[in-house]
A and B are shown apart, each in its own frame.
Chain A
């Protein structure tokens, strides 16, 4: 019909005439073709259609498991045991048993020793004033708090302790956690989220490592106390940021360091870190579990030690389980930073609050620290004394600052296997224990640590150790090393 449209222009009409001719030819060819040819083609077309459909059908059949096959698979599956077996002589399986208080004198496995292993730096664990304060609190509040801080688990003692800690550290606000480990491990992920960048020292302790993991941020590790390496990484990031300024505007940067490193006993170069902070606009989180109540004229930690304005550090965290000889931990800093944890610190929001008697013990410990600032001088003197006395111990190297109350003795030459090193050091520890000096090796989870420190004996100095005891400890260790490593 369209072909006879009178309105069409001439050239198109001509083309259509051509097309019409082809069509006519085709129809004619159809008439002329032999019947067998037509039948064959028809069958071919049908075959193609069948192939098309049957193919998809077959694929489906192959991928679907029948219920019976599934059952067989379920029957077949054998899971690993819940936990792998632990050999009976695993070095960490059989704990030392301490009978009675773990104070200056400690009874380990039935033997009375002088304690060179507990982090009771200021000797406040068996202090009678601390005990009395805790007892008074126990009489008033009982033991547990039966709730998180949000739900009637905030006691007046908690508020007082937070205020006192903030005042002691000369910051705006402090927040307490009921578990030392959970403090920094909750604080880091409260601020740093997926996509943010954290620069962290290689020797950072396990609690920091867990905090980093929970944050799901990008982690950049710099060599232990290596400022040049940190700056290199920061610079690298700066170049990266220039390529993508939109992303850089929302990417927070943090530097996470320890004041005194638990794993190495060395101090962090804080003044240089603060310079880098302002240069590259990265916030500093400082873990001070070992340095709080130890360093500085008033025991305020590494900031006071270096004379750095505490406001230059964005967040300071420490536990109350070492110097304060209680339980729990705290973070302090400016309200702008700290207050955020009251809704976002997981270990704060979702955990029962600290038993009031432990908070009261910490308050009394702070009182004692404020009343006797000399105590920190005494501690440092004792550290230096034993540090010096242990120099030149046969086969052992002293690792850590001379003013650090916790430092390490490592083997000068490894036997080549970690297991044997640990056994060797354990023999030294055992011999010292027999001679009434309680020591311990530093324990690590070997497979979990990001960079496993070498095996070591960790020596802890407290103000209660007399000069004589310090000398005795040093000579006992030296003798033991001499007899075992020789």
Chain B
């Protein structure tokens, strides 16, 4: 949702990226592309996973400066594991998102990273929270982020429906990522998808040649 005007010559490796998360009936899908580049000139990684696990059923998609995102998620992970030991129960998704939000808000001058937190908890089921660049926290049913997201706003607005089945949602996420990768030069590679439900967490990787192909003019 945020367009990152990152000057990557100053910031180093940036995840020009596409990340997406969508709630379906019984769970949530969070996905990303896998390309990490320096200013769009050199691809430093073709297979980077931008969906990071911060707890058993809570995952985080990162966009923006890779270094900032890794530092923040590492701090958040340790906060959360301590928190869940104290509470003697798994953390709520909103708790995970709040931890990230605090870190982003208090360090907003130095950091340039945005997150989407998706997960399942016993209190509210599947949820997605977006933590934007300055530290705003927002609950949404479907959200997209990163540089590639601008190209799929129309597609997501048109195609997302609440209460889809798991298969429909995975197909929707794969299509959306494929479309964004098709137009954004700093997004690409494989599509990493994580499907989170009450029972389990499934990591699906769709390699480049298996991505859906649309009419290529």
**Is chain B found bound to chain A in the same assembly?**
no
Chain A interface residues (CB < 8 Å from chain B) = none
Chain B interface residues (CB < 8 Å from chain A) = none
